[in-house]
């Protein structure tokens, strides 16, 4: 999320007041990565870890405002290669399981035994992968815009969104030469991994523009710089081309490992990026989960109904 987005959301009354971290730092993790992290709220409050979307989107000060400064000890961090973590936009040792291990390293670094896991979009994927790996360190889950990284969901992103946003999809494909449009993921990935800014920069903008155009109930025209778009576009393509580093259907298959834990799933009825059917499938497999279908929202975290649903879910999950 850009600085302009942070400013735009500064006065929303349904978010908690802006918060300043009481602690921040950089955690060195294997393979040369260093992760920016911060804590805000009440040091003695309920521990909560926030997993941002993308992959590659990074955190924003606005995300702190999901958390009640009196009740929550909120931990936010930038995953490998994005935000304030370094090296920037690096795909080296950047897999789902590297990120899962990073989350638990951060938990141990901060001396937290168990925490509530919060994530949206790709963050919901990562939250489920983390929980299924370390269930004993999870108190429960608040998830938004559910994405399970099944092949049908990746295919929907690459082509199905054009059913609703044909002009955006046409521009997404139109960026590529005609003979490469049948394989957009591989064609974009090759460009996004090219070291030359003249190659990866325009591809990053085109990829990010496509996703942004499909993310809201009422689309708006925004565009980041090539440098700002690169981590998100490069990492999304990287994870998609590797099927999320997951076996097909793995997160539903391994759900019994966390099925005893409470979960609230917040989903926009008109989420085009992560269609509601995925949230429904997860809810059906998770008997103790609660599905909140927001009737007037798309995918983005700051859609009015989504942000209200997230805050209400967090309040309900807090003792």
Measured distance CA(251)–CA(229) in Å, rounded: 28
- Per annotation, catalytic residue among 33, 271, 283, 289: 271
In sequence order, which ranges of the chain are alpha helices (DSSP H)?
3-8, 96-109, 122-133, 151-158, 166-174, 184-192, 197-213, 226-241, 250-253, 276-285, 304-317
What DSSP state is assigned to residue 2? Answer: -
Half-sphere exposure of 244 (CA within 13 A, CB side): 25
**Three-class secondary structure of residue 63 per DSSP:** helix
Q: Of 269, 310, 318, 319, which Cα lies nearest the Cα of 118?
A: 310
- Reduced to 3 DSSP states, what percent helix, strand and coil does the chain have, rounded to the nearest 5? 45, 15, 40
CA-based torsion, 111, 259, 126, 276: positive or negative: negative
- Report how many helices (DSSP H) and strands (DSSP E) the chain contains, helices first: 11, 8
| Listed residue (145, 139, 15, 107) closest to 69, CA to CA | 15
Long-range contacts (CB closer than 8 Å, 24 or more residues apart) made by 191-195: 192/230, 192/233, 192/234, 192/237, 192/238, 193/91, 193/234, 193/238
Q: How many residues does the chain have?
A: 319
Contact 128, 100 (CB under 8 A): no
Q: Which of 60, 85, 90, 121 is flagged as catalytic? A: 121
Helices 197-213, 226-241: crossing angle, 10 deg rounding: 80
Residue 299: active-site member: yes
Q: List residues with catalytic annotation.
A: 121, 271, 299
């Amino acid at each position: 999320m850009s600085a302009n987005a942070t400013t735009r959301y500064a006065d929303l009354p349904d978010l908690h007041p802006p918060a300043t971290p009481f602690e921040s730092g950089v955690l060195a993790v294997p393979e040369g990565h260093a992760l920016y992290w911060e804590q805000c709220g009440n040091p003695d409050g309920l521990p909560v870890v926030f997993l941002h979307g993308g992959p590659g989107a990074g955190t924003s000060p606005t995300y702190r405002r999901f958390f009640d400064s009196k009740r929550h000890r909120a931990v936010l961090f930038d995953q490998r290669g994005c935000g304030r973590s370094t090296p920037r936009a690096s795909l080296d040792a950047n897999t789902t399981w590297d990120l899962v291990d990073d989350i638990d390293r951060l938990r141990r670094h901060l001396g937290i035994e168990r925490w509530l896991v919060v994530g949206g979009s790709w963050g919901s994927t990562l939250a489920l992968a983390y929980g299924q790996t370390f269930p004993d360190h999870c108190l429960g889950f608040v998830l938004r815009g559910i994405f399970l990284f099944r092949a049908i969901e990746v295919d929907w992103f690459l082509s199905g969104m054009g059913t609703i946003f044909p002009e955006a999809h046409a521009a997404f494909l139109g960026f590529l030469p005609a003979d490469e449009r049948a394989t957009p993921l591989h064609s974009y990935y090759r460009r996004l991994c090219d070291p030359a800014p003249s190659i990866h920069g325009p591809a990053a903008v085109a990829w990010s523009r496509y996703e942004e155009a499909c993310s809201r109930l009422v689309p708006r025209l925004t565009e980041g710089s090539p440098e700002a778009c690169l981590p998100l576009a490069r990492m999304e393509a990287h994870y998609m081309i590797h099927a999320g580093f997951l076996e097909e259907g793995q997160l539903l298959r391994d759900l019994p490992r966390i099925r005893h834990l409470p979960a609230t799933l917040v989903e926009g009825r008109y989420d085009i990026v992560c269609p509601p059917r995925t949230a429904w499938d997860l809810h059906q497999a998770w008997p103790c989960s609660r599905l909140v279908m927001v009737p007037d929202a798309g995918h983005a975290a700051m859609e009015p109904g989504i942000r209200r649903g997230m805050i209400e879910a967090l309040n309900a999950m807090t003792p």
